[in-house]
């Protein structure tokens, strides 16, 4: 998890590197005793801990190591270990930041081949990161061309042909996923890697399983066949999990989501939520066997939220619209009761009007006094190649009330500039002026009751 690219730590963006290092060195071996002063002078409002050790220089040690971990009070922490030399002295400084996510996601871009070499991944992450986006959600185990139906030839296959009960992952897709995560990392963006998907298993909304997996029967029968510790497809699932986790293990900017909206259709005694819970625990254990560090969570339905999210191996909660929009404070409290878990509130699963998004993102950042909640938005992106005008085009499949991508991203930027949460303000200039009265009218600290549309695919 070592990388020298400074954009991976946007928390450092508002202080000159040399000046920052001089001030840390001047603080001596106990900079934590000067934490408040350093937080202000280095313009790092999200800094919650700092430690330094110094010794005689042995070699040129320049190094930057980063990891995410679950902290106290429902926080997600970003730990940065910086190693450098100054005046013949070797310094190792550990910074602990509380962070919150504002995510923008199209879900299926990791399948894109970008055949014209337009730097689709890098330019997309350049665009969104410039508005403070630091999270992107990618779905893996579904029909590869689900979001690019017109040009399936431009999508990498996920699985190789062969025995569907013991097939392996396409190395070309793994390489593409690695490029995707690498491009995000260079812009300080965390990728929420969603391994499996309710709709791909249940067979709804054209979100079919990737070939060569083909399931039949009712949605409940398909769940029982596939999402089951007794499934004949466990070897394929194990191959898939192992390949993805091992490939992404070197990247600090990955968190895992076991599945999207996992919930048993019409459960009965032969297969119910307890069987699904056992399978989720199996997947979490398989991830952890390959990777001791990266965070793991999942999204569920409303009825099985508590049963699944209380699994100890899960470290954060991913709630969708019907779980949090009516009362985000109560949703945050539930996530805390499931084991001190951070809440990622996603607007996935229903209508996403721009006016609501403006309210939702600020509410997620402010909930619980700050630092306890994050927000992820499902928005339109681009496929086949980079489109310079994508930010200012409406989604052709959605009403214009959902807004253009740039308008959504401006809402994220405004929320970060106006929130009282130090963890959300950490990636911007804390001395920048607040925004206009017109923007501030959206700064609501709670969400009022509203009708939530039924869940859609993805």
Within a 10 A sphere around the Cβ of 249, how many other Cβ atoms? 15
What residue ranges of the chain have pLDDT lower than 70?
A: 1-6, 57-61, 426-458
Same structural domain, 264 and 144: yes
Same structural domain, 157 and 28: no
Flag whether 58 is in a domain.
Answer: yes
Flag whether 455 is in a domain.
Answer: no
Last residue of a domain, one of 99, 125, 160: 99
Q: What is the DSSP letter of 28?
A: T
Within a 10 A sphere around the Cβ of 149, how many other Cβ atoms? 11
Largest separation between any pair of C-alpha atoms in the chain:
71
Flag whether 212 is in a domain.
Answer: yes
CA dihedral 34→36→40→43, nearest 10 degrees, is 90
Same structural domain, 119 and 245: yes
Flag whether 446 is in a domain.
Answer: no
Flag whether 173 is in a domain.
Answer: yes
Last residue of a domain, one of 43, 72, 99: 99
User: How many residues belong to the chain?
Assistant: 458
d(C-alpha 85, C-alpha 323), whole Å? 49
Q: What is the DSSP letter of 25?
A: H
Same structural domain, 85 and 137: no
| Nearest C-alpha neighbor of 31 from the set 53, 12, 62, 5 | 53
Please report the pLDDT score of residue 442 as a whole number. Answer: 33
d(C-alpha 261, C-alpha 33), whole Å? 45
CA-based torsion, 168, 171, 177, 181: positive or negative: positive
| CATH number of the domain enclosing 328 | 3.20.20.80
d(C-alpha 133, C-alpha 188), whole Å? 9
Same structural domain, 109 and 87: no
> What does DSSP say about strands 135-139 and 190-197: parallel, antiparallel, or unpaired?
parallel
CA-based torsion, 214, 346, 74, 130: positive or negative: positive
Flag whether 131 is in a domain.
Answer: yes
DSSP assignments along 191-222, one per residue: EEEEEEEHHHHHT-TT-PPPTT----S-HHHH
Same structural domain, 272 and 177: yes
Range of the domain at 208: 102-440
Number of independent structural domains in the chain: 2
Strand partners, 53: 92
Last residue of a domain, one of 99, 119, 141: 99
Same structural domain, 87 and 234: no
d(C-alpha 136, C-alpha 257), whole Å? 12
Cβ–Cβ < 8 Å for 415, 400: no
- With tokens 């985000």, the residue in question is 328
Same structural domain, 91 and 234: no
Flag whether 24 is in a domain.
Answer: yes
Same structural domain, 109 and 82: no
Same structural domain, 49 and 66: yes
Flag whether 95 is in a domain.
Answer: yes
Same structural domain, 267 and 367: yes
Please report the pLDDT score of residue 298 as a whole number. Answer: 98
Please report the pLDDT score of residue 60 as a whole number. Answer: 63
- Omega of the bond leading into 190 within 30 degrees of 0 (cis): no
Give me the half-sphere count of Cα atoms (radius 13 Å) on the Cβ side of residue 278: 12
Distances (CA, A) of 80 to 22, 48, 63, 355, 415: 17, 12, 10, 36, 25
Helix count and strand count (H, E) for the chain: 14, 12
d(C-alpha 139, C-alpha 312), whole Å? 23
- Which strand (E) or helix (H) includes residue 439? helix 437-440
């Amino acid at each position: 998890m070592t990388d020298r690219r400074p954009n991976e730590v946007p928390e450092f963006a508002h202080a000159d590197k040399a000046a920052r290092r001089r001030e840390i060195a001047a603080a001596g071996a106990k900079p934590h005793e000067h934490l408040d002063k350093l937080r202000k002078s280095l313009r790092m409002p999200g800094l919650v801990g700092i430690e330094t050790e110094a010794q005689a220089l042995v070699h040129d040690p320049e190094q930057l190591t980063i990891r995410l971990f679950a902290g106290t009070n429902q926080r997600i922490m970003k730990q940065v270990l910086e190693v450098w030399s100054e005046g013949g002295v070797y310094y190792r400084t550990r910074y602990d930041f509380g962070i919150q996510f504002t995510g923008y996601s199209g879900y299926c871009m990791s399948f894109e081949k970008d055949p014209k070499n337009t730097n689709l991944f890098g330019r997309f992450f350049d665009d969104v990161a410039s508005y403070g986006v630091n999270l992107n959600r990618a779905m893996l185990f579904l029909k590869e061309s689900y979001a690019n139906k017109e040009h399936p030839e431009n999508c990498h296959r996920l699985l190789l042909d062969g025995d569907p009960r013991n097939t392996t992952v396409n190395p070309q897709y793994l390489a593409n996923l690695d490029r995707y995560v690498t491009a995000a990392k260079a812009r300080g963006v965390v990728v929420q890697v969603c391994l499996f998907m309710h709709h791909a298993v249940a067979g709804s909304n054209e979100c079919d399983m990737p070939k060569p997996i083909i399931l039949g029967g009712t949605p409940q029968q398909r769940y029982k066949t596939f999402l089951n510790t007794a499934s004949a497809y466990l070897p394929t699932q194990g191959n898939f999990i192992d390949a993805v986790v091992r490939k992404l293990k070197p990247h600090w900017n990955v968190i895992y989501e076991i599945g999207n909206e996992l919930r048993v259709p019409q459960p009965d005694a032969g297969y119910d939520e307890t069987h699904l819970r056992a399978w989720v625990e199996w997947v979490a254990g398989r991830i952890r066997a390959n990777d001791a560090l990266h965070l793991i969570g999942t999204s569920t339905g409303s009825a099985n939220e508590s049963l699944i999210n209380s699994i100890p191996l899960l470290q954060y909660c991913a709630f969708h619209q019907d779980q949090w929009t009516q009362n985000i404070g109560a949703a945050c409290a539930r996530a805390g009761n499931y084991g001190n878990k951070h809440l990622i509130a996603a607007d996935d699963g229903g209508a996403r009007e721009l006016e609501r998004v403006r309210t939702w993102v600020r509410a997620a950042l402010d909930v619980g006094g700050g630092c306890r909640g994050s927000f992820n938005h499902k928005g339109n992106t681009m496929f086949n190649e980079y489109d310079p005008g994508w930010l200012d085009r409406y989604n052709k499949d959605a009403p214009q009330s959902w807004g253009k991508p740039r308008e959504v991203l401006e809402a994220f930027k405004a929320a970060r500039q106006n929130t009282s949460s130090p963890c959300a303000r950490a990636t911007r200039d804390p001395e920048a002026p607040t925004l206009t009265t017109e923007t501030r009218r959206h700064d609501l600290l709670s969400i009022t009751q509203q009708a939530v549309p039924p869940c859609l695919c993805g």
